[in-house]
Each structure stands twice: as C-alpha cells, then as structure tokens.
Chains A and B, each alone.
Chain A
C-alpha cells in the first residue's frame, strides 16, 4: 500500500506491505536509519520519533497509521549549519556513552522541551521513562536537557 508522510518537513512516500511498522518504513524504505531498531516491542525507546507533536515508539505504529501525518526524526534536529541545542548540550556535557539510546533520548527530550521549555528534574525523568540507557545512569542526560532548555528559552526571550 502507498503511504505518504511528511518527514522532517519533506513529503516522502513508499509502497509497503500493510504489516510494515513506521520504524521499518523509515529505515528501510526512506533510508532514515537514525531511529534505531532495539527491542521492536516498545520496551527500550531507541526508535522514538515525534508524530504530530507526540513522541512515540515507531516500532509500535504501523506505517499505514502514520499516513498523511507529520513525522520528526533525529535526522530533522540538526541543520546543515548547526547542531540542535539539545545535541550540543548532550555533546558538551558527555550525556551519551555508547550512544545507542541517543536518537530516542533526544526525540523524547525535544518533545518535552517543545511543550515545557523549563521542565523540573522529575518532569524530565517522567518524559524519559520509556527510553532505557544502560551506560550513563541518566544523570548527565537530565543535566543536558536542563541546559538545552535554558538555552532555548533564553533564545526565545531574546537574550
């Protein structure tokens, strides 16, 4: 079946079997391999993308269900000129180690900051609770999200 998506601002389409997940379509049909295939059953969160303003596990959504909707993946964060403030903070504060959880962590974090630019530590932990990380203990990830939140709300305020 033909599925049409708006991915990172660009109209994309592919002819996929009906059982294809959004994750599989992004990775195998559209060549966007940033969202990772971890557990494939919605436990680990490394496939997290934003669909119409909500972060979700793309391994749990059928591509057909995403038809006509707006998707943001990790590839949509940086511009050719610059990294997203979240990516910069993650890099500067050493928030990732092996990095496999990174694409999902960053998308969950972006979705949180889009809705709540200055979240509390508890709100951040809550937003990341579906993204597993084996390396970092989450501490530096939380610090990086706070740091990026301050930067983004400072920029919004014209500072």
Chain B
C-alpha cells in the first residue's frame, strides 16, 4: 500500500569560506558614451553570475545593465578573484564591484559638482545622469560628465577596489570567533509517497523557502534553488559512487543514476525578501545551500509515511524495504 508523509528540513549556511583570506577585486571604468566596463576575475559557470555582477555595477552607477560590458575570467587582464566557489560570488565579488563603482562614481561627482553648482556629496547617479539630489532637472548625462572628467578635469572615472569579508579567528581558550561574515537560511518541505510493499519512494512535491538576502535577480535565484533541489533529490534517493578495490565501478551515466525530468516533483520556490546591510544592495548568496535541506526533508517525510529512519543515503527501495521489514519484525516480537 502506498503511504504518504511530509517532512521538513531546515538549514543555515555560511557565505564564502574561512581559515584563509577570501578576497575579490574589481575595476569599473565609466566610458565617455555613458556605458561602463567591469573587469572581474570570476567566471560564469551558468549560474548567471555575470548578469548579477553587471546588475550590481549598473545599480551603483545609475545606468542600465545592458550598458555594462563585463570582462571576466582572464588572468591577463582582470583583477584577482578567489573564484566561483563557496557560494561567494554575489556577496564577495559583488561587494568589491560596489566599492569599485562607487570610486568611479565619486570621480564623476567631483567632475560634475562645479558644473551643477553644488558640492559633490549633493549629487546622485540615476537614469544615466548625474543629478542634484532630489532635483532631476538639475542634471547632466553621465556620458558628458565622463568626457569632462577625462578631457577637462584630467581624472578619468575609473575605480578599483577589493573586498575580503572580515572574520575573527577562534580563541583557543573560549572557542569563540567569527568564521564568516554572513549566513543564509532555508526551509524545505517534502511530500512523499512510499510503497510499503516495495520500499519505493516517490517525491510528490517540494516547497522551498530561502533567505538569500535581497535577491538581485529573483529569476536566477529561483533557478539555482530548483537546480539545488534536483541535486538534493539525487543525493536522497539515487546518486551513489560505488567503489571496488579503490576503483569506481559506476563511472558513467548508465549506472550512476541522477534525476531525470520524470524523477523531479512539483517544485514551489519562495524567496524571503530580506536585506543584509553587509551585502551588495542587501544580497547574500544562493549556490550550494540550495541543495542542503532537501535530503533531510525527504528522509523526514519517509519517516512520517512509514515510520522508519533511513540514516544512510541514498534511500534506495531496498534500504527502505529492509527498514520496514525490520520494524515489522520488532513490532511482532514486542506484541
């Protein structure tokens, strides 16, 4: 008989890593046509990082994302970046870019201030213009200000900066320290159907609610979470590297089984719109933590459905069936 159950998995996860320094550097150059060039050492692996980093530079400069030309991942030309690892790109590289863009913007403000008859700190960058705070009619196009900065002032609008998340080493006496600068949080709920004659588990639905700070690009965050859940589903029920005499016996997709479209349940993703004051425009990160609570939620749902605790992954039909039989045997003995 098929039995249904629901389970919850919760997690927190640090953004970036610790023990050694974790810096990113960036350079932002405002061009005389009002576009900007962003140099970053990080790489795009499909998660949409360069889109998000371009959005961050655009927001800081008051221009559109389409007007930011991103040059990335070339050690000949781009500033150092620790890498597209540890769920750190939006937070650490993003923070470096905000600071670099702000430095370039400051040069634009200083160039524009005498032209607009105000002090530099009374200016803002918005809608592709440098304008007096609250007075959009008193403004100049960014392109014009960038040209003025280069040809008349003699200080081109180029900013470079780096960011390394502040941490506090562990005190060996007290065990206290601050290993990471920020953390993300999530809860996922799984609904499963377990066949108590065969041990087969079908996942019907997963609801995932994640706090990633302010999502810079909600569509991309959603995509990361959906992908993370599919990895969690594989981790929970299917994926296992098998070794014999130190050699992997299932090194290909014929016998290393990962989720197909038919293995994926209905997914519902919600973002908690939080704001982290230490992140770029309030953002933290997505990446790895999206896969963390999935298997726990599924194992709890299996327990809710058939009353057995599976403590070794993946929870294959054989393992679940054995656990169910063991439970029945124990119940028969104690009855």
Contact = CB atoms under 8 A, between A and B. Distances in A.
**Chain A interface mostly:** loop
Contact of A94 (B220, B229, B252, B261): B220
A116 interface: no
A132 B226 contact: no
Interface size class of A (residues with CB under 8 A): 20 to 34
Nearest to A41: B254
A6 B76 CA distance: 44
Contacts of B325: none
Interface stretch (B41-49, B56-64, B308-316): B41-49
Contact of B46 (A93, A125, A135, A141): A135
Nearest to A43: B253
B268 to A, nearest CB: 10
B230 A93 contact: no
A138 B264 contact: yes
Contacts of B227: 97, 134-137
Given A137-B226, A140-B226, A97 B48 contact: yes
Interface size class of B (residues with CB under 8 A): 20 to 34
A15 interface: no
Nearest to A138: B261
Interface in B193-235: 219-220, 222-223, 226-231
B40 to A, nearest CB: 19
A133 B258 CA distance: 9
Nearest to B232: A137
A139 interface: yes
Interface of A: 39, 41, 43-44, 93-94, 96-99, 124-126, 128-142
Interface of B: 45-48, 219-220, 222-223, 226-231, 252-254, 258-262, 264, 267
